[in-house]
């Protein structure tokens, strides 16, 4: 036990190391909002744990970095696609009409227009997957 505070010396040392880590990664350095304390504690525990292969930790952190970069790139691409889709709905003058329908956004209206265009130009039946996710890719393995 410590000095009557009910916190052991090990807990105090661990808390001090956690505070130093938190100081090294301020909120201003966060890529996506405020760092989650649960994740920071888990990362801190994993890095400080003597069990496991220490040489693998940098690789694991690099994979986390790559996943985060991929997620951010995908998020930016999605925002760009949504902006272009709503731009088309705006050019057609249908934004007010689309958003007046409960549960329908300008992006949803653009997806419906995209599917209608596909139905008219290809003559294929309405496909809800294509309406929400774009063109359906047929598997070459199944076609054989």
Q: To 5 degrees, how large is the angle CA 66–CA 71–CA 72? A: 100
| Residue 61 in domain | no
Mean pLDDT over residues 68-92, rounded? 89
Structure tokens at 25: 């990664």
- CA 10 to centroid of chain Cα atoms: 36
| Residue 140 in domain | yes
| Residue 100 in domain | yes
| Residue 59 in domain | no
Q: What is the pTM of this model?
A: 0.52
Structure tokens at 75: 């998020």
Mean pLDDT over residues 80-94, rounded? 90
Distances (CA, A) of 19 to 44, 45, 78, 79, 126: 10, 13, 36, 36, 57
Number of domains in the chain: 1
| Residue 40 in domain | no
| Residue 34 in domain | no
More confident residue, 134 or 56: 56
| Residue 137 in domain | yes
Give the residue numbers spanning the domain of 121. Answer: 76-144
Mean pLDDT over residues 41-52, rounded? 74
Confidence bin at 91 (pLDDT 50/70/90)? very high
Mean pLDDT over residues 7-33, rounded? 75
| Residue 17 in domain | no
Q: To 5 degrees, how large is the angle CA 124–CA 81–CA 32? A: 140
């Amino acid at each position: 036990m410590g000095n009557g505070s009910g916190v052991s010396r090990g807990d105090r040392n661990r808390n001090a190391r956690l505070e130093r880590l938190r100081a090294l990664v301020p909120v201003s350095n966060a890529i996506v909002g405020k760092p989650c304390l649960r994740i920071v504690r888990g990362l801190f525990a994993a890095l400080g744990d003597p069990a496991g292969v220490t040489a693998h930790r940098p690789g694991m952190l690099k994979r986390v970095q790559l996943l985060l970069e991929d997620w951010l790139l995908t998020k930016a691409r999605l925002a760009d696609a949504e902006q272009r889709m709503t731009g088309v709905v705006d050019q057609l003058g249908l934004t007010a009409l689309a958003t007046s329908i409960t549960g329908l956004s300008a992006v949803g209206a653009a997806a419906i227009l995209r599917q209608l265009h596909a139905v008219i130009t290809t003559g294929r039946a309405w496909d809800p997957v294509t309406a929400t996710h774009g063109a359906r890719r047929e598997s070459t393995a199944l076609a054989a």
